[in-house]
Amino acid sequence: MGSKNTTEMKEKKESNKAATSTASATSAKTQYIAKDFQEAYTTSMKSYWDQIASNNKLKLIDLFCAFLVVVGIIQFAFVCLIRDNYPFNAFLAGFIICVGQFVLLISLRLQLLNPFEGIPKNRAFGEFVLASLILHFICIHFIN
């Protein structure tokens, strides 16, 4: 299990890279590995779509995740473009809050899929809200 949206991107990248990096090697082997990656990719994708099709909550979480990834990338690209990170703490806070919220969402998602023993889903959600609040509080303080 894991971060689906980035997951897909990462996997694509990896398979591409794998394909190119081993291009110099025997082509048969390359083909073989590339095929494996292809298969891994399709199976994961398929089970992923199955997973969210049956659960609206997961869909919501994943949308939020995708949004966070986009926001994070925009911030990063912005800093790269203006080639200056002067209010470094502000950028950092903005970026970290994206990453942090993303990670927390994934944590919640994991718990919704297979609840850990002793932690019912509702409690997991409550804890998630609390941790998010702490995170936001600190980051807002950090932005100045």
Partner 1 sequence: MSIFGAAVSARLFSVIRFESIIHEFDPWFNFRATKYLINNSFYDFLNWFDDRTWYPLGRVTGGTLYPGLMTTSALIWHTLRKIGLPIDIRNICVLFAPAFSGVTAIATYYLTKEIKDSSAGVLAAAFIAIVPGYISRSVAGAYDNEAIAITLLMVTFMFWIKGQKTGSILYSSFAALFYFYMVSAWGGYVFITNLIPFHIFLLILMGRFTSKLYVAYNTWFIIGTVASMQIPFVGFLPIRSNDHMAALGVFGLLQIVALGDFVKSKLPPRKFKIVMIVSLLIILAIGIAGLFLLTYMGLIAPWTGRFYSLWDTSYAKIHIPIIASVSEHQPVAWPAFFFDTHFLIWLFPAGVFLLFMDLKDEHVFIIAYSVLCSYFAGVMVRLMLTLTPVICITAAVALSKVFDVYLDFSSAIDPQRRNLTSLLSRLIVSGTFIFYLYLFVFHCTWVTQTAYSSPSVVLPSTSPDGSMALIDDFREAYYWLRMNTDEDAKVAAWWDYGYQIGGMADRTTLVDNNTWNNTHIAIVGKAMASPEEKAYEILKEHDVDYVLVIFGGLIGFGGDDLNKFLWMIRISEGIWPDEIKERDFFTPEGEYRVDSRASKTMKESIMYKMSFKDFPILFNGGQAVDKVRQQAISLEDVGTLDYFDEVFTSENWMVRIYQLKEDDPEGRSLKEVGDFERAKGKLTKKRKITKPDLTLRV
Q: What SS3 state is found at 138?
A: helix
Number of residues that bind partner 1 (CB under 8 A): 50
**Could you say whether residue 87 binds partner 1 (CB under 8 A)?**
no
**Could you say whether residue 138 binds partner 1 (CB under 8 A)?**
yes
Q: Which of 40, 63, 73, 77 binds partner 1 (CB under 8 A)?
A: 40
Q: Which of 12, 43, 59, 70 binds partner 1 (CB under 8 A)?
A: 43
Q: What is the DSSP string of 6-63?
A: HHHHHHHHHHHHHHHHTTTS-HHHHHHHHHHHHHHHHHHHHHHHHHHHT-HHHHHHHH
Amino acid at 24: S
- Closer residue to partner 1 (CB): 37 or 67: 37
Q: Considering the complex, what minimum distance in angstroms separates the CB of residue 88 from partner 1?
A: 7
- Closer residue to partner 1 (CB): 67 or 103: 103
96 by Cβ neighbours in 10 Å (0-12 / 13-18 / 19+) ranks as middle
| Contact in structure between 52 and 46 (CB atoms under 8 Å) | no
**Length of the chain in terms of residues written:** 144
User: Which residues would be at the binding site for partner 1 (CB under 8 A)?
Assistant: 1-3, 7, 10-11, 14, 17-18, 21-22, 33, 36-37, 39-40, 43-44, 47, 88-89, 92-93, 96-97, 99-100, 103-104, 106-108, 110-111, 114, 116-119, 124, 127-128, 130-131, 134-135, 138-139, 141-142
